[in-house]
Structure 1
Amino acid sequence: MKVVLLLVIAVATSVLGAGYFTDRLPLTAENGARSSDVVLANLLSGNTTPKTHVRSFIIGNSLVNHEAGRGSDLTSVPYWLARLARQDGNTYAMAGTYTLLREFKDKGPESTWSFNGVTSAWNSDGGVSFGDADFTSVQINPLNYVQWRGPTEPYWDDNGTPVGATLEVIDVVTAAEPGIEVLIYEGWADMGPFVSGDFPPSPRAFAKYHAYNLGEYHEWYLEYVRELQAARPDVDIRLIPVSSALSTLLTQSPLNQLSPTDLYEDDAPHGTPTKYFLASLVTYVGTYGKLPPTDFAVPPSVHPLVRSNYAEIVAALGG
């Protein structure tokens, strides 16, 4: 299946006092933009039949699960996905691990994550094989600081490539569970290069960060997925464009009023509960093939601006 993604690339060129970005960010041929309007395309384009039952295996990092360290269940995408699914009358079970992609072949699948209120899909120490866990999808989250080289080029230490490492993962999971979906989670980019001095970044630096997520960084993911699809044409491989979708939303009114510290806690950047909640909305679309429930009661742990505009955010994800 080919990735159909019509996100319009946006570059922030000015900052207004009312928020970190203008309501409408002018785009020019010089910065490679495709249109003068900042819009979200319909994330449902090219998706599969809507699902009601998901059993997900996640190979991720702290852009999916920041429970370790200063984080909590609130700073994990599965925590929010389970609650969205429950409100929508769907089921969600998961197992996950922090394993690096290029270490996966040697280590094999493991289940080391658990979250309050989230059904476990598999216990790797419980005597049930990965293939017998009946996973419907595997979600893969590459590192967010390797995009300075192409996805088919070697890692910084010349030990494999992102595409090569991912194909090894795909081969392991599809051998154990033929027909499993492969979902590529586009985590947000490393913010470190955009921060001069201490976190948080200046408004101008923050605008450049979002422009990178919408431009070169997103293009890396498109090439990455194309290479994976070409190498494994019989496997259903799709992109969940979390970073680019959120940077589009966060550079438009009203979410352009959110500051870096409303969304991130450092320049890695690990997110706040608000960031992971927003990421879960995009992930829900990519995982279930339909929009999140509009009647979900967003809790106080999420920024009030997001709570008060939740229905509009969901509508924006629908194009």
Structure 2
Amino acid sequence: MKLKIIKLKANNIYSGILLVLFVISGNISFSQNNNTSYIFGHSLVNHSADQSTQNRSNIPDWMYLLAQQADNEYSVDGQFGFLPLQAVPPIFQWGFIDAPNTRTNESNNDFGSWDYDNTIVTLANFIQQTATPSQNAFCDQQYIEDCNQDPNALSSVEAVLRILDYVRQEEPGIDFYIYENWPEFNGTFPPVSQAEEDLEFGAFYDYTREEFHDWWITLQDEVLVERPDANVKLIPVGPILADLFSDNGILADIRATTLYEDAAPHGFPVLYFLTALIHYSVLYGERPPANFQFPDADLAAPIRIPDMVKNNYTTIVNFIWNSLQGYTFDNGESRVFLSNQVLSVDDLSIHTLKPILYPNPGNGIFNLELPNSTIFPVEVKVINMIGQVIDAVSITDHQSTKFNLDKKGTFFLKIIGDQYSDIVKLIVK
């Protein structure tokens, strides 16, 4: 792929903007060594309890193993249910192979007494095509014949606020995460041919990163509008997994039947392990531990983590970390990372707003506008999905730069300068 650059006259879109301190470099590192969570979840968080033959088909067991090897601490409690039918006060249903429970006294059901660092909630994955976040979230007709007559049939926003308000009352200042899962698969499972799998799962991953993802972004935004003083963050599992599994992704060659066991789609341990890598990155504010030692060497498939994942572990971790850097508001605050985490001085960079890249997705021609406060020269690298530098160029003055990329796929534009660093994802259709 050849990177062609055309210099254009810059505008003043960034003039007059105050500088803020914000971490955007791929080398950022937070300090969050202890993590205690309560999860209002379902089987896309914890599937092991439903399948006695499964081993670590859940996020918490993998979270604990990752934290343990990074010399961090992790404990967790949780319960099953679809919002708004989750029980409040919590009912402490979960236990795991590896992950310890935070609640050590089973007679003490007082949520606030266990000092949770954060609460995680998620919603059903089959409502997004039929209801917006401000509409009815879920109504179980096993119990309610007419959902419109159910006074408890809350919208997705109201259902999340119900949990948020409860846990904040019990534990003031608690951090709150919305877990963005993956959608229900409506195709044929298992696929009858490779061609069918490519077609149907290709559409599945496109939906996951587009309309489905937009639904969760809207949910987070609407919750923040209602509770602007709350720490409400997003764990964007669905779109990152979709990027890993899609054409040109690091794990594009892994078969759907290696990841999923049905059309729900519930997953085998590998799916929950990859999901845990995203969870760990968000909750601890750091990359998962290097040279992770997998505990399943003597296990057979589908319990054993595939060699394709093990052999690409470092690349997967870096891809996830870089993907999470793109989840920022216009003012520089992260959608996923807490703004009050302790930062390493060496990791701080001076940043105004995100650079503007448009149109994105595009047909191969992109315009890049950098802040007026940028100190030049700035090096721009084009990086593919597996971390390879495809091309690079140095920018020496303020400008709007037109990039012409002649290869389709998903790439990252890494912008590096003096006291300035950023990563922008771009998609060539």
TM-score over 0.5 (shorter chain): yes
The question of 1:147 aligning with 2:142 is answered no
Q: Which residue of 1 aligns with 2:42?
A: 61
Shift of 1:110: 1.6
The question of 1:265 aligning with 2:261 is answered yes
Which structure's residues are more often helix, by fraction?
1
Q: Which residue of 1 aligns with 2:31?
A: 50
C-alpha RMSD of matched pairs (Å): 2.1
Residue type of the alignment partner of 2:84: R
Q: Which residue of 2 aligns with 1:8?
A: none
Shift of 1:199: 2.5
Residue type of the alignment partner of 1:314: V
- For normalisation by structure 1, the TM-score amounts to 0.81
Relative contact order higher in (CA < 8 Å, ≥ 6 apart)? 1
Q: Which residue of 1 aligns with 2:99?
A: 118
Q: 1:56, 1:190 → 2: CA distance?
A: 26
Shift of 1:90: 0.3
Match runs of 1:96-245 below 5 Å: 96-104=78-86, 107-122=88-103, 125-127=106-108, 129-148=110-129, 149-155=131-137, 157-158=147-148, 159-191=153-185, 193=186, 195-196=187-188, 198-200=189-191, 202-245=197-240
Residue type of the alignment partner of 1:288: Y
The counterpart of 2:62, out of the listed 58, 67, 80, is 80
User: CA 1:48–1:146 in 2, change beyond 3 Å: closer, same or farther?
Assistant: farther
Shift of 1:100: 2.6
The counterpart of 2:74, out of the listed 92, 98, 101, is 92
Shift of 1:56: 0.3
User: CA 1:207–1:155 in 2, change beyond 3 Å: closer, same or farther?
Assistant: same
Residue type of the alignment partner of 1:261: T
Match runs of 1:243-258 below 5 Å: 243-251=238-246, 252-258=248-254
Largest Rg, 1 or 2: 2
Shift of 1:73: 4.2
Secondary structure at 1:245's aligned position in 2? helix
User: CA 1:43–1:175 in 2, change beyond 3 Å: closer, same or farther?
Assistant: farther
Secondary structure at 2:199's aligned position in 1? helix
Q: 1:128, 1:266 → 2: CA distance?
A: 35
The counterpart of 2:310, out of the listed 299, 307, 310, is 307
Whether the 8 Å CA contact 1:110–1:124 is kept in 2: the answer is no
Residue type of the alignment partner of 2:103: W
Secondary structure at 1:258's aligned position in 2? coil
Shift of 1:128: 5.1
Residue type of the alignment partner of 1:138: T
User: CA 1:269–1:66 in 2, change beyond 3 Å: closer, same or farther?
Assistant: same
Q: 2:317, 2:253 → 1: CA distance?
A: 18
Residue type of the alignment partner of 1:146: I
Shift of 1:48: 9.8
- For normalisation by structure 2, the TM-score amounts to 0.61
Whether the 8 Å CA contact 1:174–1:180 is kept in 2: the answer is yes
User: CA 1:222–1:275 in 2, change beyond 3 Å: closer, same or farther?
Assistant: same
Q: 2:30, 2:228 → 1: CA distance?
A: 19
Which structure's residues are more often strand, by fraction?
2
User: CA 1:249–1:189 in 2, change beyond 3 Å: closer, same or farther?
Assistant: same
Secondary structure at 1:183's aligned position in 2? strand
Gaps of 5+ in 2: 1-22, 139-146, 298-303, 323-429
Question: Which string of whole-angstrom CA distances, capped at 9 and with x for unpartnered residues, describes residues 28-50 of structure 1?
Answer: xxxxxxxxxxxxxx9999x9943
Question: Which string of whole-angstrom CA distances, capped at 9 and with x for unpartnered residues, describes residues 282-309 of structure 1?
Answer: 0111111111011211344111100111
Q: Which residue of 2 aligns with 1:282?
A: 278
Secondary structure at 1:64's aligned position in 2? coil
Any runs of at least 4 consecutive aligned residues in structure 1 with deviations exceeding 6 A, and if so which? 42-45
Q: 2:238, 2:155 → 1: CA distance?
A: 21
Question: Which string of whole-angstrom CA distances, capped at 9 and with x for unpartnered residues, describes residues 132-191 of structure 1?
Answer: 101000011111011012100123634221111110010111100011111111111101
Whether the 8 Å CA contact 2:37–2:119 is kept in 1: the answer is yes
Q: 1:44, 1:246 → 2: CA distance?
A: 22
Whether the 8 Å CA contact 2:250–2:316 is kept in 1: the answer is no
The counterpart of 1:293, out of the listed 289, 304, 321, is 289
